[in-house]
Structure 1
Amino acid sequence: MSDLSSKDSSLDNLLRRDPRAEWIARNRLHPLHNEMLQIGGVEVRGPSGLLRKNPHVIGFIGPNGIKRIDRTNTSSASLGDKKRSSATKETQLPLHIVENPDFYIMVVADMVGGRLTGHDKDILGLAHQLVAKRNGAVTLVCFGDNKETQCDLAGVDRLVHLQGEIYEGFAPEARLNALLQIEAQYKPDYWLFPDSVHGGMDLACRLSARLGERLAAQAWQVNAEHTVCRGASASQDILRDTPRILTLLEECGDAIDESRHQVLPMAIDGIEQTTPAMVDKGLIAVDSNAVPLAEAEFILSAGNGIHNWDQFHAAAAALGATEGASRVAVDDGFMPRARQVGASGTWVTARVYLAVGISGAIQHMQGIGQCDKVVAINTDAGCDMVKRADLAVIADSEDVLAELIQLAQHYSLSKGQEEKSDAA
């Protein structure tokens, strides 16, 4: 009797494999895959019978939505807890608080279209590197319309928003007077400007001349002691001491992505404004197709999915977009070779690239790599262009373009009526 009981206990200690469960755990496309991983835990038994760690289970979702490897095993105990997993994904970024700053770093952003550009965000990231764990506040200075809704995620501790018609358009004199008032009131440690054609370089030069301080232009590596600038058409690097005023190239720093910031408004005392010597009369209307494709900010590009070319040209005219095309559309004779976008055509850097009926060949994707926002209109939800796009519309291109033309015409009509009422 005792021999039988010992035999039964030894049988109970045997580890029995479930081939079906192991197959589901290895097959990520199986509908029960995630459920099986939660049951199996961190360790799974491989086909050879050895216990192996499952790399798809180890880790956790960080505060910015990126999966992190949990090397301390602090979260492995809760891997099977769905509520804990969902709560981790919804965790807000930690709030960075600067209560009484000892100094300020002023970032005068381009704010093209009223929003922070990638260039602006890089400079904000660099400003936090210059703070270097000291009690300083990174301050964003912007003029005119501010449509940015994520200044807190971009690293803005303080905000100086100067509004009014006097700052609209090309108004360097009014903006310079405002910066001089900020200089007199807050005495910032650094003035950071984007080295760009959108006004940052011009305004930095004016401020430098007025304060009598030499600026560092085309800076791309900056710390509190030394600055490396591009020179001789970007063929040489120039090392110099870091000044107070700098114009910075893109990718000069890493954008903020792991913290939220307060974005507290800062008050500026009365700014003395004089009658400007130059008055901005507004932009002159030009033919959008007269703008070189490499310099265009808004491109409407056509591919093999376009069949109504008259409608495509009408949509480009109504939207005020520069026309582009894929290689297929050019080879078929629908668009001239100068309109081809891609590695074998023109590399574009548009703020908005609207691709209509373009599947997304690798050469075309290379040509639009520097575009800020990509919008795709296509009937194929799985094409590469849809995967690359920031916004995708899965529908027939003719229906979407017809609606866009109608909306553009309605907007132009309403805007014309507002201008007439204002003049009256």
Structure 2
Amino acid sequence: MSDVIRRDPRAEWIARNRLHPLHGTIAVGDDAEVRGPSGLLRKNPHKVGFIGPNGIKRIDRLKGNGAASGMGRRSSGPQEVQLPLHSVESPDFYIVVVPDLVGGRLTSQDKDILGQAHKIANGIKGEGAVVAVCFGESKEENYDTAGVDRLIHLEGEEYEGFSPEQRLAALVQVEASLQPKHWLFPDSVNGGTDLGSRLAARLGERPAVQAWQVTHETTVSRGASQSLDITRETPRILMLLEECADAIDETRHEAKALELDSVPRAIVQLQDQGQVAVDPNAIPLAEAEFILSAGNGIHNWDQFHDTAAALGATEGASRVAVDDGFMPRFRQVGATGTWVTARVYLAVGISGAIQHMQGIGQCDKVVAINTDAGCDMVKRAALSAIGDSEEILGELLKLAQEHRANKGEEGEQNAA
């Protein structure tokens, strides 16, 4: 074989063209030689140490954290950013947040309230720690980036479902142990308002409800059906609205576990009989927590309806599916239909038109099933399955039916 190194003009052209889709795959290091179309060696002005015509040497202001390429191109993959750690070794005081933790995860309102807790703590003299008290099963993995300095997690069958008496007993124990400066609850129908009211009555405090502008000194609450604002001195117990403050996004926190002394068993006078069975399609799209949405990629509509029923999901649709007559108009999701705020939005065969993407902007988790790996819906999704929708829905339907069958067998064994 010849020892002559042959040039690859196409690779060199791709390396020079930053807008080329394959530019990120061409490795061009600081020491690599790049020839121009005339065959002459090209100098790389982006190389660290390059001396320009003005005699100034190029320095690395990113301290080695920039793109690996000497051509100054951006890295082809996402870079994980390590947020600075905010630690509190010996807190002078505590601010306790009791999140709703719907589905075992922090809601956007919970995160806003954690941000509000830090805002209050910053206005009080001394170093404070924000404590989150969570009940029941927890699936949350990001307490640290949400702003939790200390975490009290109480789990067990006595805290499952609707258990206000037992949860109140635990909060009274937290009050005796930590003596927090403030208690913060979500003003919501998910349990925060009820639990905050019970604690206020037990402690003899006059809480602030519908609070939306809070400092360590004053609180502004909505009143008279949100037609006026009421300003008062900030009390110990606050029930806060959504978007009361910005969520924590620039620091990570320790989320150290705190252990409570044994919490006494409360005398339960309310029995939780479980959730009432509701037809998912009777829930308005704007209020649905789980939506299975169909687009132009659905060809077996009977299978789609069966899958939605097996998953317990509310049905939605793109404008194309509605215009073609496969779904009613009130099922349309998007800027020209219904804006949705589901915790899980499963889009099947929807490429992701701009109007549709606007309508699902507030959804927590988006899952996409599509044959096009480069469509906008797949880019937006947290999880994607690339393939034929009928095959994937068939497997999903099979798994859902098996899960329900196994759950039914376990219920019969427990009853026996």
CA–CA distance in structure 1, aligned partners of residues 45 and 261 of structure 2: 65
Match 1:93 to one of 75, 83, 103: 83
Q: What TM-score, normalized by structure 1, do the two folds share? A: 0.81
Match of 2:112 in 1: 122
Question: Structure 1: which 5+ runs fail to align?
Answer: 1-19, 59-72
Change (3 A) 1:102 1:284: same
1:201-220 matches, cutoff 5 A: 201-220=193-212
Match of 1:266 in 2: 258
Moved more, 191-200 or 287-296: 287-296
- Do structure 1's residue 40 and structure 2's residue 32 form an aligned pair? no
> Contact 2:27–2:69 at 8 Å: present in 1 too?
no
- Do structure 1's residue 392 and structure 2's residue 384 form an aligned pair? yes
> Contact 1:140–1:160 at 8 Å: present in 2 too?
yes
Match 1:139 to one of 131, 138, 142: 131
- Do structure 1's residue 310 and structure 2's residue 310 form an aligned pair? no
Change (3 A) 1:81 1:395: closer
| CA offsets 1:313-361 (integer angstroms, 9 cap, x no match) | 0100110111111121112111112211122222211111111111222
Change (3 A) 1:333 1:231: same
> Contact 2:14–2:20 at 8 Å: present in 1 too?
no
- Do structure 1's residue 248 and structure 2's residue 235 form an aligned pair? no
Change (3 A) 1:215 1:42: farther
| CA offsets 1:112-158 (integer angstroms, 9 cap, x no match) | 11111222112112212222183211111010111212212222111
Change (3 A) 1:278 1:23: closer
CA–CA distance in structure 1, aligned partners of residues 83 and 242 of structure 2: 25
Letter aligned with residue 156 of structure 1: V
Deviation at 1:254, TM superposition (A): 2.3
Secondary structure of 1:342's aligned partner: coil
Deviation at 1:42, TM superposition (A): 6.9
> Contact 1:104–1:137 at 8 Å: present in 2 too?
yes
Secondary structure of 1:343's aligned partner: coil
| CA offsets 1:47-78 (integer angstroms, 9 cap, x no match) | xx999x9xxx99xxxxxxxxxxxxxx743677
| CA offsets 1:249-277 (integer angstroms, 9 cap, x no match) | 22222222333322222222232333211
CA–CA distance in structure 2, aligned partners of residues 236 and 29 of structure 1: 56
1:5-404 matches, cutoff 5 A: 25=16, 27-29=18-20, 31=22, 39-41=44-46, 74-75=61-62, 89=79, 92-132=82-122, 134-404=126-396
Structure 1 residue ranges, 4+ long, deviating more than 4 angstroms after superposition: 20-26, 30-38, 76-83, 88-91
Larger relative helix fraction:
1
Match of 1:10 in 2: none
Q: What TM-score, normalized by structure 2, do the two folds share? A: 0.83
Question: Structure 2: which 5+ runs fail to align?
Answer: 1-10, 31-43
> Contact 2:165–2:267 at 8 Å: present in 1 too?
no
Secondary structure of 1:412's aligned partner: helix
Deviation at 1:36, TM superposition (A): 6.0
Q: How many residues align?
A: 382
Deviation at 1:80, TM superposition (A): 7.4
Letter aligned with residue 142 of structure 2: Q
Change (3 A) 1:31 1:353: closer
The sequence identity of aligned pairs, in percent, is: 62
Secondary structure of 1:203's aligned partner: helix
Change (3 A) 1:392 1:81: closer
> Contact 1:327–1:341 at 8 Å: present in 2 too?
yes
Secondary structure of 1:180's aligned partner: helix
Q: Alpha carbon RMSD of aligned pairs, Å?
A: 3.2
CA–CA distance in structure 1, aligned partners of residues 208 and 156 of structure 2: 30
Match of 2:7 in 1: none
CA–CA distance in structure 2, aligned partners of residues 78 and 42 of structure 1: 14
CA–CA distance in structure 1, aligned partners of residues 94 and 190 of structure 2: 24
> Contact 1:42–1:76 at 8 Å: present in 2 too?
no
CA–CA distance in structure 1, aligned partners of residues 266 and 108 of structure 2: 34
CA–CA distance in structure 1, aligned partners of residues 148 and 404 of structure 2: 35
Deviation at 1:232, TM superposition (A): 3.4
> Contact 1:228–1:238 at 8 Å: present in 2 too?
yes
